Every structure is written in structure tokens, then in C-alpha cells.
Structure 1
């Protein structure tokens, strides 16, 4: 690909291609290619100028060589991103907005008055029909009736300028609302779309880990407990309980057995299934998420519902006020001044735009919010509950040592542990698997069916011997495993600064895997900032021992902590706090956090947690930092301030217009102009970012 460098500073290059412009698809393809290059941290392509801005880390020459090698080809994963790009949508609505403004200018400037009157009357038909339909067929006095009445009265008074202005501003408002809604939904859907790279494929009766791009219709895939179903298909063997809330809205898990249909993106909570793929990877998942979001009541927060209800409730008062003013004053101009001021227009438009724009802004900070009501919950919550492992501590703990108790080599014990743990991705399991990779320990599947006991451990058979790996409670109390006689002293001297993963073979302890779970550097600061942001109680809950929990709790500065808890204990605590009248946020990353995430007013899944946690959670944070939790709190609180500020402005400003109109100080056309201009202004304001510039830059 030929290009020239137009401008550059360290870490940033702006290039221009040897053409006048890009099509939307060409721009998207190039942008996805640039984003996938080694060393590139961000990229933006401008289709109208055929320019591209590239942000890179260090090796400038290597980046330029890769850019020059572009031949128009991209990966299947990048192609899926291109298909769901929002670039075409933005271009479409920019053109619609420009066309509407130019049409309004041209009709006012160049059309003769008689022609303009006919044009305005024809344009009014749509609004009048909507008003009649709402009044006659729906039997409701909603905003459509008020708009139709205002436009009709203006036409009857031969005030075509006022009628045209009202329709123009209503049209611009509709366009902006539709554009922002579709863009916000699209941004949200893209961030919710699956990012599955590898799956377990059944090949000659054996599970083989393969790239998702290698799967075609008719292949059989196996899905284990705690993971997300990657594609649509029909179950051929096994039974499972599937959480389909994100797809169908069902609150309870659904039982799936041979012959049942399963959907991509739904989470397997219990059991294990093998299913035949019906559709290979494509854009259908994205499109279904878009539909789900648009249909879902989750998008509606109570403030949006309140705005909509209040808007409709004010319509009869506006019509009644108009009639009463005319009866008392016999002055049509004063009466019409009330009719031209529509509270409901601003209320219905500005509130949803504010919420959707806040969701869009959150997505810019790697935060996916699945509905407006969850932002409201974050703003109003008093209690916040943190899981420890992978949340307050780093998402990638590391293995510091493997202590052998049965005479086997450390590498062999680690190989067995990794073979089991790779089926159930959690932070400690990932540490074992990564350490095995680091030591170049490869393995064949040496075990039978693997059973995962939530919050306890894993059990299977290797040959004739039962192998278990998990917590002290699971291995020694539930499984009744014993400690070798010659290993007591070694056992008592295990390092206290580590978490311990116990593995027993044939009923006897074989190894203790010592795992360092470093505290996130930002955790103490985040806890302090959350207290400053208004949280009255910050709690840490963990399945770890009392000793480990106490040490972490002291270092981070939480108000309370609970150790050795089970998943149901976390969910029970959340329910108890809610029963006391407190709004509760739960933050976690693992399979065992799922019940509490579902129970909380807002469940937040962080970073590289278990897929089921991310699927069930109401909010997901993709950036590997807890600082985003503080940012989310500030964003949510700022949203509520904006919403309440909008209420005060709409009511006071429009009430002022009514009083001025009734007093005869301003004309109906001026009332309409000021009202619609204020509606447009508050809507545009509601679409702007909430966080101050410095906070956005820090993020």
C-alpha cells in the first residue's frame, strides 16, 4: 500500500493514502488491519480524506513496514468487526441532518410564500395523522396529540413560519434521538459481542482445542461448566442448566438435553453438553444482541420511566390550560402561547439521550453497561461487595512453588494439575496453566470426565486413581484425603504469604501448589476513593482462609471482610443488605461470584474473569484496573445530576414561557421557537460527555 507521512510526533503518525477518499468498508477494513498490527496501540481512519492516524509503542520502522504490506486482506475476526462497524450509521445520519438543515434553509429562502404554504401543509400531514391515531385509536392524550394540535392551529391561523419551525425542530430532535439511540445500542452490542478465540471440538471421540475460525456448520463442540456457548446449535449429548437471560430474558436457568437448541452467548451454569453447530461464526450474534438490547426493558431506568410518564401526564394540563386561557381572556394568541410550549417533548427526548450517552461514554472507558437502570443503581448504592481473588488481587496470580509430598517430580505434578485446571478458567487455575506453559510442560488428555464442584475444586480419575485438586476443605474434609506420615513437618512449614492449592492422588496428598496472588497496586487507593464517593460500607468476601483474608483486608482498607465463604454465602449477604433497604453492588470475576452478581442491584464483572461471570453481570469492565470502578461511580452520579438538572430546567423554563405568553409579552411563534430551541439545546447538552477532561485523560 502506497502512502505518505503527513505529520508525526513520537508515538503518533498521520499518513495519507494515494487516493481522494475511502468507501466506508475500505476505511473499516484498513482500521481493523492497523489495530491488529504488532506495536500499534490505537488507530483511526478518516474515509473522507483517506488519512489514517496511528499510535504506536516503540518500533516506528517495524510499524511502517507492516502498514506498507497491507493488501486489503483481513482475518475472519476482523471481518466480523467490520460487519458490525458503526461508521456507516454515523455517515448516514450526518447526511440526513445536513439534508434537513439545507432543505429548511432552501424552502425559507427560495420558495415563494404560496408554494411554501403548500409545502408546509403537506409536511404537517404526518404529524396530524400521528396525533389523530394517538387520540382516536389509542384513546390517549400523549405528546403526539399536543404536537398535532400546535401545528394544526398554526396552519389554521395561516402562521406557516411557526408551523414550519415547529416541524423542523421536531424533525431534528427525532433524528438526533434516533441517531444517538442506534449508535449507543450499536456501541453496546459491539462491546457485548463474544470474543471467543478457541473452543473444544470433538474429533474421533476426543476433545481438541481449536480456533473458533476453524469451526464449520456440522462440527460438534463440547462446553464445560462455567463457560459460554460460542455458537448456535443442537445438543447431541449431555445435560446442562443454561442461563439464557441475556438472550431470552428468562430469569431462571433452562434445562437442556439431547435435541434442545442452544444459543451463542448463553452461559452454561451446571453440567456439560456436546452440541452440533448449526451456524458458523458470523454477524448473527451481533445482530441478535442489537435486537435484544432494543427490546429489553433493561435499557429503561426509573428516571427514564418517570420522565416518560410525567411527559404524558402533562399533555392534558397543557391542552386544558390552553382552553381555560381562551375562555377567560377570549384571546386566541395568549391561548396559543400555552399550546406551543410542550413540556413532554423535552422530557421524553432529553432523559433517554442522557442515559444512552452515559452508556456510550462508559464504553469509551472499556466499561459495558447493559442497561440504564444499572447506572442508576451504581449512583445510588450504599454498599459495595468485592470478591478478593482476581478482583482486589491481580487477575493473574503466579505459581511460586510446587511442594511434592509423594516423591513425584514437581514438573510432573504441575503437568497433572494443569491438565485438570485448563478446563475451568479462574485466576488460580490460569496461574497453574500458565506456569506449565512457562516451563514448556505439554500433555495429552490423561484423565476421564472432569467434575467441577463450585468453590471447592476439581475431581477426576487418572487411570484407576482418583485425583482431586482444590481447597483445604475440599481435599481433606470433603474428600477425606490424608497427609503422608513423612510430610507433616513440610506441611506445617508451607509459606504463609501464599494461597495453597492442594492436589491428592489416590486419597493421599501429592502436592501443594503455592500461588502468589499479588494485591493490585491501585486497590487501597480505589477503596479510599470509593469511600470519598459516598459508599457507606465496603465489604470483601473470599473463599480463602481467615489468615489470608485478614491480611488483604487490612492492606486495602475495607470496612468488613468474610473468609471461607461459599457462593450462596455471598448471594445471601447481598440479599440481606437489600432487605435492609440498601442498594448493593457486587464486584467479582469467577464462577462462584455468579449468584451474588445476579442478586445485586448492579453486578460488575472485571477484567479476564470467567465467561459466565461476564455474561451474567450487568456491567463488565474490560480494562485490567479497578480505577474504572471509581470512574463508573463518578459517571453514574454525574448522570443523575444531569437528569435532575434537566428536570428542573425543563419545568422552570417552559413554565416561564407559558407565563410570558399568557401575559402577552411574547407571541406564540416566539414561544414555539424558544421552546423547541431549548429542547434541542438540552438534548444536545445531554449527548455530551459527563466526565471532566482531566478525568477522561487519566482513564
Structure 2
């Protein structure tokens, strides 16, 4: 399956918060939609008002035609007026499409209306234009509801920011902000740029970007000078999110054009880049269907040569078939559902890049998860303290915290943080720290020699570990822990265990995925098999494949695809990029703030929340069901109307009513997705 990244799709154009659906049928390009919404004497509703005027003139003309005392030209004048107002936008768009070398449905409708006038059936032609223009106007109104749901993203970010420069505070536009500027965000106001909190603590409503329903606590980094994009989530904020009750000072990390919100808008604007399988089918169908219809219509013009009827009757039948066969509903059936589905997903913090991923997600049979940061928290935590030689847990923790406070090893911070949470008090630092590369550390604490390290450190120094210590280490490591031995003077007083623990929601989410019909769930990780198996057992995954290099993950995805059909790879979008590209659908976790994750994946879960995945799959399945309904409705209507108009049972008026009714039906059916809620 070929995939295009957002980076390949992006242009240097300004971000325009609107998405363009297919240009077939009733859908036109962005310029047309802009005209419908904003142009004309009645403002954005001009097309709708013109259609209403057309209907009024048609009604008056029809009523006057029954009054014998009034001249016939009066009724005709009203019909001609109806033609003008009903055909204004139809003619405008037909001319524009012909100028581009296209013959679209507007042109077919115009030809049908002119044909009716030639036959003297002015009221039939006016009725066609009234219903077509009214359908057009209501369709644009309905589709714009879905578009506006997405376009509202552009309104999230404030237009100005309060910045501190040269010890002075002043208000500037967000376009003037520079990286490393310090901005001040007042309580209950929107944050104007991506950045890192350097002063103040507050709860921030991140729902506009990540879909999280509960405000997230933000705290300042310890060293503002060292603040960069790689700090943990509790220090990061995004443009467009809403500050809580306290003042925050934020160091800007991305200028306005590069913010998470800006990237999100760009990607949403490209959601039609990947067409869904159904859209590809309808495109192919129309390529063959339209020429066949045109040949049929031309043939019917000469029916009077074969059967006993006048040319006018043959012409009328041909025009009726032309109206009946116009594939408006078919052309709009998929884009209306796709656009609504994407808008609904975006509202819950799930970015879906087009109709392709939207449909494919619901048909997945297997899921492959990266472990670190996806199924687990992504950072080690202190998981166990084992006491030995009569020492208490408090004594072991005190020694460990005092020594590890001095270390810059990646595990040291986790040990200190977890230890202090257990101990619930501060501990003074040890003295004379000495690191033993890859093995552990040595220090002096309260006059005693402390050694903390892995078994290899003690074996290196010729110390034989007691059998009970070895059995405890084996037990902890089988559970997926990294174990360290704590020695005071020459006595082993305890063991500490660390582990990248599973996410709290992981087990429940995986159970939910199995309930909704995902047949196979596997874990792919670079960690050793023992750790992979331990984590998998805790969260309910039967298949855990450990010690995999990136290229081995790609092969694993290929093998899964052969065995199971459609498979998704869920990861962080960075080191899992090759495996994501190989999968049917690539899904990035916690993509907010990560340019690589946003650009790599087909679907991005903006919040770092695994439990958004079942919602996304359920939404996809609902979208696919609605697309299928729309397809059957639109094809069914065409299949019924063509024979009825050929045999003369259905007139132009009946064909138009049925035709426009089915078009609006599929549009509003698609809009149901905007209100989608997953069943609990």
C-alpha cells in the first residue's frame, strides 16, 4: 500500500482552514464553495435566497396559468424569471467547469432545463432548476457544518501574546514571536504558542489539541536555561490550549507557523489526499457510467425513428433520463461521510489523514504494538524494595536516595523520585560518589561505604552472591524488572527493582479491543524477550516478540499481514516509522508536539492515551457502514429512475425530486457521524 507523508504533501501556501472534498457531482473546488458561502447580494446565503425566489416565481407562474383572463406571456415571464434565479449558480458553475475542460452535473442539469424550454415545458424546466438549486444550497449548508467543525481549529490560537523582552512586557501578534521568547499567560486565557513552563503551576485544558477531557497539571522545569523540546509532558504546553487559574511564564519552543496547532491544521487540510477504497470505486464507476449514459441519451433522441412517437416525446424522454442518471448522490455519498468522520475524530483528539485510513481502520484484523511508551509509561519506575540482613525498607531507601541523588545515570532520577514518594521525606546527599561504568556507583554515607550496582559489579570484584539473593534477583527479573543490589560496608542490605511499568489503561483497552473483534494483538519490542513476556503477561497479550531491531519489526509486520490480512502498527512514530509504513494503517501515540509522529502516521492519537484507540476503530466502522448505506441509496435510486424514465412512467419533475432527495439523504446520513458516541 503506497503512503504519502504530510511532509510530501505540504506546500508553501498559507494555511487555509477548509478541506476540499471530491470535485465530482455536487462537490466543486474551494473557489466555488467560497462563492456559495460569501458571494452575492444576500451575502453567504445568496444561493439559498436565489433558489427561494426561483420557487416563488415558479409557484406564481403556475397559479397564474390557471387564470384564463390573464395573458399567457405573464405566466411565461414569471417562468423566465424563475429560470434566471434558479439557473444563476448552475450556469456560473457550468461555465467554470467547461473552462477547465470538465462536463459536470451542473452542465447536464442546464442542458435538461434548456431542453424543457425548447419543448415549451417551461414549468418543468423551472421546477428542475428550483429543486436542483435548492438541493445545491442545502447540500452546501450541510457540508459546511462538517467543514466548520474542522475549520474551527484555526480559531483556537489567540491572535496576540504578552511577551517579556528587555525586562519589559508588551503585547505583540503571534507572528512576531520568536523561539526562546518568554510569554506570560494570564489565568483562563488561551496559550499563544508551543512552549515549556518555566514559572508558575496551573491546570491546562488541552482538549482542543489532544481531546483530553480533564485539565492537565503543568509545572515549571527545574532549570529554565536547559529547557528544550525533549522535556516531559507536565512541562510542555501547546498553542490553542486554555490556561487554568494561575499565571504561567512559558519559554517559546516553536514559532506560530511550526506550532502543533499549525501542523494539525495543515494536515487536516490534506485529509482528502488519501482517497478511500469506496471513493476509488465510485471514481472508476463514474468514468465508465457517464459515457454510457451520454450514449443512451443520444440514442433515445432518435427513438421516434423506431417507435410511434414524435421527436418532442423522444427528446423529453432523453432529457428525463439525463436528469435521472446524473450521479449526484453517488459522487457526494462518500465525501460527506468521510468529512464528517474526520471532523468527529478531530474533536476527540484523533487525527485521521483522509478517507483511506478512515475506512481501513475499521477493517483491521490484527494490531501490533510497540512496547516502550505505547503499552508502557516509557520511563522506569521504582517497582520493588527487597530488604535483607535485617535492614528495614526505610533504611534501604534512605541509603539508595542519598547515593543516587549524586548520580546522573538515567535510572538514578527514577530511583530518587520513587524512593522519596515511598519515604515521604527529604534525605541528605551522600559524599564521594564514584561511578563504575555500566555497573553501578560507590559512595560514602554516614561514614559507611555504599555500593549500588547490578550483579556484574559484584562478580567483577570477586564477591560471591548468596543463594537467597540470586533467587530474589531471578524472580524480579522474570517479572521484567531491572534489579540492583545495595551493599552497606560488606553487607548486602537489600535489592531495588525498576521497570518501565504498563500504562494504567493498557489492560482494559486491550480487553476492549478484543471485545470489538480484533482477532490478534502482538507486542513488538527491542527489549529482551524476558522483559517483553513479563509486560505482556501483565496486560493480557499472548504474543510478545522481543529483541527486535527496526528491520525485524518491518518483517514481523509483513508476516502478520500475510497471516491476518490487515494489520496496524501502533508506536511513537519515530523509531517505529518503517514498521508503520509497512502496515495497512500506521497509528502514532501521543503525537501532540511531535512533528515526526504527525507526519509518519496515517492516524495520530494526539493525547498520550491508549484508550482513544477503541473509539477510533468504532468510529471507522460506523463511517464504513454509513458509506455503504450511502452507496446503496445512490446506486439504487439511479437503478430505479433510469428504467422508469425510459418507459415514460417518471417525468422530469419526478426524476428531479427523487434525484435531489437522494442527494440530500446521503449528505444528512453522512452528517450523523458528527454526533457519534461509542457505546460503553
TM-score bracket, shorter-length normalisation: 0.5 to 0.7
Unaligned runs of 5+ in 2: 1-15, 20-33, 62-76, 159-173, 183-192, 196-227, 231-250, 305-310, 388-395, 441-452, 487-493
> Would the alpha carbon gap of residues 522 and 161 (structure 1) be closer, same or farther in structure 2, given more than 3 Å must change?
same
Summarize deviations over 1:284-343 as a string: whole Å, max 9, x none: 764564345434654422322332343344222222222222322542222221111244
Kept in 2, the 8 Å contact 1:571–1:596? The answer is: yes
1:311 aligned partner: 286
> CA 1:437/1:151 → structure 2, altered by over 3 Å: closer, same or farther?
farther
Which residue pairs with 1:167 in the alignment?
133
* Aligned equivalent of 2:375: 392
Aligned to 2:331: 348
1: CA distance between counterparts of 2:671 and 2:536?
A: 40
What do residues 81-128 of structure 1 show as CA deviations (whole Å, max 9, x unaligned)? Answer: xx9999xx9xx89x9786654553355337864256235326525433
Counterpart of 2:178 in 1: which secondary structure? coil
Choose the corresponding residue for 1:109, options 45, 56, 63: 56
Q: What corresponds to 1:455 in structure 2?
A: none
Distance verdict in 2 for CA 1:160–1:612, change over 3 Å: closer
Question: Per-residue CA shift, 1:254-296, capped at 9, x if unaligned?
Answer: xxxxxxxxxx999xxxxxxxxx999844797645643454346
Gaps of 5+ in 1: 1-82, 195-212, 222-228, 232-263, 267-275, 422-427, 444-461, 505-510
- Higher relative contact order (Cα pairs below 8 Å, separated by 6+ residues): 2
1:490-509 correspondence runs (5 A) = 493-494=472-473, 495-496=476-477, 497=479, 499-500=481-482
Distance 1:500 1:306, change over 3 A: same
* Residue 149 in structure 1 maps to residue 105 in structure 2: no
Structure 2 CA distance for partners of 1:488 and 1:651, relative to 1, 3 Å: same
Name the structure where strand makes up a greater proportion of residues: 1
Q: CA deviation at 1:561?
A: 1.7
Q: Deviations over 1:603-661 (max 9, x none)?
A: 22335899467433332335665443223222222222222222222111122112222
Task: Pick one of 67, 75, 83 that aligns with 1:120.
Answer: 83
Instruction: Note the C-alpha offset of 1:521.
Output: 5.8
Instruction: Report the alpha carbon displacement of residue 669 of structure 1 after superposing the two structures with TM.
Output: 1.6
Distance 1:181 1:554, change over 3 A: same
Q: Following superposition of structure 1 onto structure 2, how do residues 280-679 of structure 1 map, counting pairs within 5 Å?
A: 280-281=255-256, 286-287=261-262, 289-295=264-270, 298-329=273-304, 330=311, 331-393=314-376, 398-400=381-383, 409-415=399-405, 421=410, 435=418, 483-486=460-463, 488-489=465-466, 493-494=472-473, 495-496=476-477, 497=479, 499-500=481-482, 514-520=497-503, 523-578=506-561, 582-589=565-572, 591-607=574-590, 611=594, 614-615=597-598, 616-622=600-606, 626-679=610-663
Task: Report if aligned partners of 1:549, 1:561 keep a CA contact under 8 Å in 2.
Answer: yes
Question: What is the Cα-based RMSD across aligned positions, in Å?
Answer: 5.2
TM-score under structure 1 length normalisation = 0.59
CA distances 1:39-91 after superposition (whole Å, capped 9, x unpaired): xxxxxxxxxxxxxxxxxxxxxxxxxxxxxxxxxxxxxxxxxxxx9999xx9xx
Q: 1:327 to 1:127 in 2, by over 3 A?
A: same
CA–CA separation in structure 1 for the residues paired with 2:569 and 2:413:
23
Contact in 2 for aligned 1:549/1:562 (Cα 8 Å): yes
Other-structure match for 2:167: none
Q: Could you say which structure has the larger radius of gyration?
A: 2
SS at 2:526 equivalent = coil
Structure 1 residues 433 and 141: CA distance shift in structure 2, 3 A: farther
Does the aligned pair in 2 maintain the 1:353–1:683 contact within 8 Å?
yes
CA drift at 1:580: 6.4
The counterpart of 1:682, out of the listed 651, 666, 669, is 666
Q: Once the 2 structures are TM-superposed, how far is the Cα of residue 668 of structure 1 from its aligned partner?
A: 0.2
2:94 aligned with 1:131: yes
Q: Per the alignment, in what secondary structure is the counterpart of residue 672 of structure 2?
A: coil
Alignment match, 1:217:
178
Which residue is equivalent to 2:168?
Answer: none
